[in-house]
Structure 1
Amino acid sequence: MRSTRATGAIERLNARAETKQYSMVRTSSELFFLVQRTAGNPVEKLSEPLPLDEFVAFVNAYGPQKPKRISKLDVAFEKQLVKKNKE
């Protein structure tokens, strides 16, 4: 199904937010929008209807982000670049 990418983006957002409060709505014209469920307000619309690719990009950028993993080698390489630029 075409909305699998959108569903995956919602699942990743809920995992980052550590809740199950985000969901999506798909319109009959194949547009998607993000909604948030809260206790006081059952559904709050967080985006305008978007095509699939734009919706996935919006959801991936929305909410808390995972910190980028940096290895020891990356840190050492960055130090070498800084030293080289100072010379």
Structure 2
Amino acid sequence: MRSTRASAAVARLNERSTTDRYFMVLLGNGRFELREQIEGGENRLSEPLELDDFVRFVNATGPQKAPRITKNDAAFAKQLQRKPKTPE
């Protein structure tokens, strides 16, 4: 189903955001809108977008999750840093 990717993106957004509640609207022309639930109604956050554009927009909205860094990743990044040159 087309909307599975879109609804999964909105679910991830709601997990990242602790205070705001977001939901999607599927329009008759097959496009999607992102809306925010506020007291007394809703706030439209996006124009009608195609599926790929909508998922990209939702992924960029709200707080972002910090990437997980393992010990091995940190050690590798440390090895990649250049050592300062010693004066001759």
What percentage of residue pairs aligned between the two structures are identical? 52
Once the two structures are superposed, what CA deviation does each residue of 1:39-60 show, in whole Å capped at 9, x if it has no partner?
Answer: 1x41100011000011011101
In 2, Cα distance between equivalents of 1:83 and 1:26: 51
CA positional deviation for 1:21: 1.2
Q: How many residues align?
A: 85
Larger helix percent = 1
Instruction: Tell me the TM-score normalized by structure 1.
Output: 0.89
Instruction: Tell me the TM-score normalized by structure 2.
Output: 0.88
CA contact (8 A) 2:20 2:36 kept: no
- Provide the secondary structure at the position in 1 that maps to 2:33: strand
- 1:4 counterpart residue number: 4
CA RMSD of aligned residues (A): 1.5
In 1, Cα distance between equivalents of 2:81 and 2:15: 36
Once the two structures are superposed, what CA deviation does each residue of 1:11-66 show, in whole Å capped at 9, x if it has no partner?
Answer: 00000002561001111110001000111x41100011000011011101110111
Name structure 2 gaps, 5 residues minimum. none
1:35 aligned to 2:29? Answer: no
Larger strand percent = 2
- 1:18 counterpart residue number: 18
Name structure 1 gaps, 5 residues minimum. none
- Provide the secondary structure at the position in 2 that maps to 1:37: strand
